[in-house]
Amino acid sequence: MAKPIPITVMLVDDHEIVRFGFRRLIETTKDIKVVAEACSGEEACILVPEYEPDIIIMDINMPGIGGLEAIIRLCKRESKRKVIALTMHETEPFPTRVLAAGAKGYLSKRCAPQELIVAIRRVFNGGEFITTQVAREMSKMPGTQESAIELLSAREFQVFSMFAKGRTAKEIGENMNLNHKTIHSHRSNVMKKLKLKTTANLVQFAMLQGIIPS
């Protein structure tokens, strides 16, 4: 009898100890195999075409372009590859943004270890998986009234997040492969839509939304 071909996985997280823990967990299964690891979104975008993993387990908060931008790029370029976000962010707007970017799963790092295994198998077989804590938080969001932050486009949300974390327009432009004029244009749109006047206001708003720690 032929040996079943395992589901291949790439782990993307900037903390080596976290990747080690996920790898050890996955190694307890017979049908899933870790074939590559990456410590940033940029590295993941480079390695995915080389290793062609079935599933990409992606953290959201990482240096450089971060997980959200990496998901956008990978889902656009590598449509056969399926992404599961595994992050500390359980509240909006992160789940909606990540799923809209093309991810097929969204897990909290507080979830039970076995949930990750279930999510990998379900997503590989064409389904979707949202961890219980996240699904509960998403259900609290009003269905008919948009909050201010939901008015931002995907690019505007990325620029907003990076400015809130103290990145300069030049750094953001280099990470997103956009010129500084485009970055300033996105920032201007963000400030207008969120009705903010200063960078301090932007940072404070980001804290209140849970985009950055307070």
pLDDT digits (tens, 9 = 90+) for 41-86: 999 999 999 999 999 999 998 888 889 999 999 998 877 889 999 9
The CATH code of the domain at 148-209 is 1.10.10.10
Whether residue 131 has pLDDT greater than 90: no
pTM for the predicted model, two decimal places: 0.71
Is 7-139 a CATH 3.30.420.40 domain?
Answer: no
Q: Cβ–Cβ contacts within 10 Å for residue 68, how many?
A: 25
Q: Which residue spans of the chain are classified as CATH 3.40.50.2300?
A: 7-139
Of 33-37, 51-55, 189-193, 204-208, the one with minimum mean pLDDT is 204-208
Among positive and negative, which fits the CA dihedral 22, 23, 28, 31?
positive
For the chain, how big is the Rg over CA atoms in Å?
A: 18
Q: Which residue spans of the chain are classified as CATH 1.10.10.10?
A: 148-209
